A and B are shown apart, each in its own frame.
Chain A
């Protein structure tokens, strides 16, 4: 447990020391969302109707931007070899890194989402389901994204490749994240959608952890 927390703590500390890294993801999230009112026109009606979709899709893209760095620095300086040889199973090391990644990106995006909703004239009733959906959905993104990040370690420029690999995996999360908002807006119960998002997270946990660890072992051979 101590080793597990040490990895989370180290990743958070590294991110704050490097400064820009976490801010980069959030900056991307905010700037990309800001572009939409310019692109589709400033009518509050129209923006309000597509606001949840904009926020969700941008959250996926922002997460994708951050994955390339998830394992790359550790791979390049030899830390990954040591993590693979440590008494702590590599799967748990991967989980610790995914948690740190989520705290730095997913959680931050979730907390920023209501502010972005305000800017896009998101209907009042949609705030709750949007945030609840992001809270359940973004950890799944961090877990699944790890697979892509680990798979492209051998490629010199993996950034765009990660996106191609993981964005299709994100599709179910996006569908049920949006349907949670839509259902609330037309008066249907919210719970089933959140339960499905929870189920997706429960699937992403083993798939992401074991998939990433297997890909990392291959990269280290």
Chain B
């Protein structure tokens, strides 16, 4: 299947990534259609975060292409940047700003589709809106980071370990949030150790690629 026949969604085409002289993966191909989800699994060091960073564009791939809606994300980064919502290990929260101010900044920076109160409500931290972010617990900070993704409608969510420090109620809420996003035609690529309820999601086990490495 070539990119020409698969224009919609996110397509990885023979990706190769090396970190520190070590080959993490090569000839990695997958396609996620709108409304779809991809769950990345694998042991620590298997390359989940590296793959996420390659997909986002933070880390250049050694070989291969990434296509968003049929367009190369390196040659034409514009559409990909507008569609992309990134959740990394760090929450990108400024402790000096209030919860709502933190979100409002990202909303002005291009994450649009849902309003700040809607995003806060969806992640269940609406009652904390006026609190300085420095007062939040680790789990609440993670939910604030998730609220940044909830600002967007459609597009592609790249979530690296989204469940870290979340309690069980928040986990359920995260599941609902991802389901809503996919129902809107969005795509979610998720690297996680936790069992997330993702109906119809594709799975990619980076640990299972081990044999190809020798």
Q: Mark A119-130, 1 if CB is under 8 A from B, else 0.
A: 000000000000
Could you tell me the distance in whole angstroms from the C-beta of A188 to the nearest C-beta in chain B? 48
Cα distance A147–B117 in the bound complex, in angstroms: 38
Residues B62-86 near A (CB distance < 8 A):
78, 81-82, 84, 86
Contact between B88 and A81, CB atoms less than 8 A apart: yes
Cα distance A86–B93 in the bound complex, in angstroms: 16
Cα distance A221–B59 in the bound complex, in angstroms: 5
In the complex formed, the residue of B with least CB distance to A78 is B90
Could you tell me the distance in whole angstroms from the C-beta of B75 to the nearest C-beta in chain A? 15
Cα distance A83–B105 in the bound complex, in angstroms: 11
Interface size range on A against B? 20 to 34
Q: Which of B29-37, B106-114, B176-184, B193-201 contacts A (4 or more CB under 8 A)?
A: B106-114
In the complex formed, the residue of B with least CB distance to A221 is B59
A84 beta carbon closer than 8 Å to chain B: yes
Cα distance A221–B101 in the bound complex, in angstroms: 28
Residues A124-156 near B (CB distance < 8 A):
none
Could you tell me the distance in whole angstroms from the C-beta of A152 to the nearest C-beta in chain B? 19
Contact between A85 and B58, CB atoms less than 8 A apart: yes
Contact between A3 and B108, CB atoms less than 8 A apart: yes
Contact between B82 and A87, CB atoms less than 8 A apart: yes
A49 beta carbon closer than 8 Å to chain B: no
A24 beta carbon closer than 8 Å to chain B: no
When distances are taken between beta carbons in the complex, the residues of chain B under 8 Å from A77 are: 90-94
When distances are taken between beta carbons in the complex, the residues of chain B under 8 Å from A221 are: 58-60
A157 beta carbon closer than 8 Å to chain B: no
B28 beta carbon closer than 8 Å to chain A: no
Contact between B96 and A6, CB atoms less than 8 A apart: no
Which one of A17, A84, A88 lies within 8 Å of B97 (CB-CB)? A17
In the complex formed, the residue of B with least CB distance to A93 is B109
Contact between B97 and A79, CB atoms less than 8 A apart: no
B123 beta carbon closer than 8 Å to chain A: no
Contact between A14 and B97, CB atoms less than 8 A apart: yes
Cα distance A85–B108 in the bound complex, in angstroms: 14
Which one of A6, A14, A76, A220 lies within 8 Å of B108 (CB-CB)? A6
Q: Contacts A10-B105, A17-B97, A221-B58 known; A87 to B92 CB distance under 8 Å?
A: no
Q: Contacts A2-B108, A6-B105 known; A85 to B90 CB distance under 8 Å?
A: no
Which one of A3, A18, A85, A87 lies within 8 Å of B86 (CB-CB)? A85
Q: Contacts A3-B110, A6-B105, A87-B78 known; A81 to B97 CB distance under 8 Å?
A: no
In the complex formed, the residue of A with least CB distance to B58 is A220
Cα distance A77–B108 in the bound complex, in angstroms: 19
B57 beta carbon closer than 8 Å to chain A: yes
In the complex formed, the residue of B with least CB distance to A73 is B94
Contact between B109 and A81, CB atoms less than 8 A apart: no
In the complex formed, the residue of A with least CB distance to B145 is A78
When distances are taken between beta carbons in the complex, the residues of chain A under 8 Å from B60 are: 221
B41 beta carbon closer than 8 Å to chain A: no
Q: Mark A1-18, 1 if CB is under 8 A from B, else 0.
A: 011011100100110011
A82 beta carbon closer than 8 Å to chain B: yes
B56 beta carbon closer than 8 Å to chain A: yes
When distances are taken between beta carbons in the complex, the residues of chain A under 8 Å from B101 are: 13
Which 4 residue pairs are nearest across A and B when measured between Cβ atoms? A78-B90, A6-B108, A17-B96, A78-B92
Interface residues of A (CB under 8 A from B): 2-3, 5-7, 10, 13-14, 17-18, 76-79, 81-88, 220-221
Apart from the given pairs A2-B108, A79-B94, 17 other A-B contacts in the complex at a CB distance below 8 Å: A3-B110, A5-B108, A6-B108, A14-B97, A77-B91, A81-B58, A81-B86, A81-B88, A82-B86, A82-B109, A84-B58, A85-B57, A85-B81, A86-B81, A86-B110, A87-B81, A221-B58
Interface residues of B (CB under 8 A from A): 56-60, 78, 81-82, 84, 86, 88-94, 96-97, 101, 105-106, 108-110
